[in-house]
Structure 1
Amino acid sequence: MRTLVTGGAGFVGAHLVRALLDAGHTVAVLDDLSAGRAERVPAGVPLYQIPLEDRTAVDRVVAEARPQAVFHLAAQVDVQTALRDPLQDLAVNVTGTVNLLEACRKHGVERVIYASSAAVYGAPAALPLAEEAPCRPLSPYGASKLAAEGYLWAYGQSLGLTTTILRYANVYGPGQEARAEGGVVASFAARIVQGQPPRIFGSGHQTRDFIYVTDVARANLAALEGPGGLFNVGTGQEASIRELARLFLEEAGLAHLEPVFEAARPGEIERSALDPRRAQAQLGWTPQVDLREGVARTLAWARAGSPMEADALCRLAGGRPR
């Protein structure tokens, strides 16, 4: 199948591109490289370096690539950036999504699979969160992802596209950078390979549902073959930030170090976990990499110099030697 991956030079996108190629699909990538890296894109895969906000350019890429399916991962993903500049967050995550959907409708794309976020739920009343839980986002980022979901639903209901929304829990693993895609795992890995203690914002008792990046790539492939709809992509399990720090220090042989605590950051929830049972039932997808193994693989990647070249990155993510 001919596929287009927006954000395919980004953290999750790079692993998805490799998974699609391994499954025999043809892949093209659209990425403005504001956070992505060209070296993450495998040799021979076309890379269109354009922003989603450029409607004309997006239309041109979809017309040229002629994808049958589009995986829409490109986004402004940082909560703190969205708080500082919500209009830019809106431009990328909402207007950019509509630009892409319009191009897909115009050029006969059959299916769009959208990478959404647990941030759309806001503060949970009960955990793990099922897809029917109310959505009350606490940040402009969560609001923009939820608004984009609404457009996916509308295009799916009235304009002939098959649309799938995947709400990711906290994705982590090799290739994630503290400077770009953010994430507490990336931050811990960067500090620990330098012999520095992990830095925790807030009490550390806040929890997240950490899902390994290759499991997320597998969920996207499952969505390509499955029915449209809305699916959580998570483990259903909470892990505290303190527990994550302990795992990192144990795996690194630095259990004597103590985390450094700093003030909590605004716009972030206290607890999160996503119920994956719908994806298991309808897509046949289950996560395979537990948190300790994922931390070990992430540390191995960081210790190898944090390579971004596509082949080395994906080998290390798979737990295979470089």
Structure 2
Amino acid sequence: MLEPSAWRGRRVLVTGHTGFKGGWLSVWLASLGAKVAGYALDPPTVPSFFTAGDVATLLADNRGDIRDAGATRRVIESFDPEVVFHLAAQPLVKEGYREPIETYATNVVGTASVLEACRHAKSVRAIVAITTDKCYENREWDRAYVEGDALGGHDPYSNSKACTELVCDAYRRSFFAERTPHVGLATARAGNVIGGGDWAADRLIPDLVRSANAGAETRIRYPGATRPWQHVIEPLHGYLLLAQRLFEAPGDFSEAWNFGPDPGGDRPVGEVVEKFAKLWPGKVRWSVDDVPHAHEAGKLMLDSTKALERLGWKPRLGLDEALRLTVEWYAAAQGKTQGVLRTLSENQIRSYCAAA
């Protein structure tokens, strides 16, 4: 489990703190007593977890573009972080098709910009760069992907994340492994993350919530496609454990890590929709969108054996519980204040840790 003493007073920078996962991570770090700073563009959606959770009051809120190498370096050097979580990214498959150049620029060049700034910051001891389960060359296998499988990606988003992995590997071997003291740099690959406060376009749960609130029907693109579903708290727990180990023994943990659900946690989209509909307090209507769409992987699974054996991390929330927590958050968001939603988020994190 996490050691609160390892985080109390620790200076931690989160890129992408205005996003869904970055916002949740910032709340968790603040609850552990860390001194947190964020660096990101404005929240990508309205509403957003960042606003609903009143995240800005928990950290030093810096706004800027990770592609701006000079600005990124100034923010990192001024804060002097000991740990960096790099989450800032263009995170959507469909947006990657619409804006491929922007996607590569943000995910690849932006990552290089962050790592270059960290290279010149003498305070940095551990870096966790977040990529995705989609960074693998997807063969539509029946087995789960392990960290040593080939990287690739059919679409610009997935491919850009594979490139991000390569950038991290080059910086790890070229600069950080030789630095004294050694800087730990690891990449983390998670599955399809759900949880309260995600309002991104073209994501299953946010689309269902928006349609349900509007009394409209949700059009589902690929109901038969399977994904490794997990609540946002699960991979964040893995990221925090990994950063803790990197700080303690950078040479032993500077590599790629999977953080996916238990075997069987990869479920078809249509099944997730039906489970969500049973939990939602109102009516949920959906139908299959049979209009041709750009290619998306049909089957994705992650093998997290390495994280279990070497980090002691394992998923603790099944799909039903992950959906229950997600619905609880969105249902509470109907007309609630920022303070209530942040307290709910903190309580969900606290309950997860207590149960573990």
Other-structure match for 1:67: 81
Which of 239, 242, 246 is the matching residue for 1:223? 242
Task: Give the ranges of 4+ consecutive aligned residues of structure 1 lying more than 6 Å apart after TM superposition.
Answer: none
**Equivalent residue number for residue 98 of structure 2:** 84
Alpha carbons 2:329, 2:344 under 8 Å: kept: no
Distance 1:282 1:87 in 2: 37
Does the CA contact (< 8 Å) of 2:27 and 2:58 recur in 1? no
In structure 2, the residue corresponding to 1:209 is in which secondary structure?
strand
Q: Does 1:162 align with 2:176?
A: no
SS of the equivalent of 2:57 reads coil
> Is contact 2:12–2:36 with CA below 8 Å preserved after alignment?
yes
Asked whether the equivalents of residues 252 and 299 of structure 1 are also in contact (C-alpha less than 8 Å), the reply is yes
State the 1:228 CA deviation.
2.2
For 2:279, what is the secondary structure of its paired residue?
helix
Q: Deviation string for 1:167-217 (max 9, x for gaps)? A: 1110111011143xx421221232234444442113x11111111111122
1:260 aligns with 2:269: no
User: Matched residues in 1 for 2:346 and 2:30: separation?
Assistant: 16
- Encode CA deviations 1:264-308: one digit per residue, 9 max, x unaligned: 531310011111111111111112222112212222222223668
Matched, 1:119 2:105: no
Aligned to 2:229: 210
Q: Secondary structure at the match of 2:36?
A: strand
Using the aligned pairs only, state the percent identity: 25
- Report the equivalent of 2:31: 22
The CA distance in 2 between the partners of 1:187 and 1:317, in whole Å, is 24
Q: Which segment is superposed worse, 144-153 or 189-198?
A: 189-198
Q: CA deviation at 1:249?
A: 1.4
Please say which of residues 106-115 and 304-313 is displaced more in the overlay.
304-313
Distance 1:282 1:318 in 2: 28
- Map of 1:144 onto structure 2: 160
Q: Which residue number corresponds to residue 248 of structure 1?
A: 276
Supply the RMSD in Å over aligned alpha carbons.
2.2
Structure 2: which amino acid aligns with 1:54? D
AA in 1 matched with 2:210: A
Distance 1:100 1:159 in 2: 13
Map 1:272-311 to 2 at 5 A: 272-305=300-333, 309=338
How far, CA to CA, are the matches of 1:193 and 1:247 in structure 2? Answer: 17
More displaced 10-residue stretch of structure 1: 287-296 or 34-43: 34-43
Q: 1:264 to 1:211 in 2, by over 3 A?
A: farther
| d(CA) in 1 for partners of 2:194, 2:309 | 24
Q: Is the 8 A contact 1:193 1:303 kept in 2?
A: no
Structure 2 distance, partners of 1:63, 1:178, is 31
Structure 1 residues 118, 93: closer, same or farther in 2, change over 3 A?
same
Please identify, of 216-225 and 33-42, the stretch whose mean Cα deviation from structure 2 is larger: 33-42
SS in 1 for 2:131: strand
Given residue 10 of structure 1, which amino acid in structure 2 is its aligned partner? G
CA-CA distance at 1:258 after TM superposition: 5.5
State the match for 1:233 in structure 2. Answer: 259
TM-score scaled by structure 1?
0.91
Give, in whole Å, the separation in 1 of the partners of 2:150 and 2:337.
Answer: 38
AA at the equivalent of 1:247: K
User: What amino acid does structure 1 have at the position aligned with 2:158?
Assistant: G
In 2, the alpha carbon distance for the partners of 1:84 and 1:312 equals 33
2:6 corresponds in structure 1 to: none
Pick closer, same or farther for the CA change 1:178–1:87 going to 2, 3 Å: closer
| Contact 1:4 1:70 survives alignment (8 Å) | yes
2:84 aligned counterpart, secondary structure: strand
Distance 1:6 1:86, change over 3 A: same
Higher-helix-fraction structure: 2
Provide the secondary structure at the position in 1 that maps to 2:44: coil
Quick check: 2:11–2:35 contact (8 Å CA) kept in 1? yes
Is the Cα–Cα contact under 8 Å of residues 70 and 111 in structure 1 kept in the other structure?
Answer: yes
- Tell me, which stretches of 5 or more residues in structure 2 are unaligned? 1-9, 177-182, 246-252, 350-356
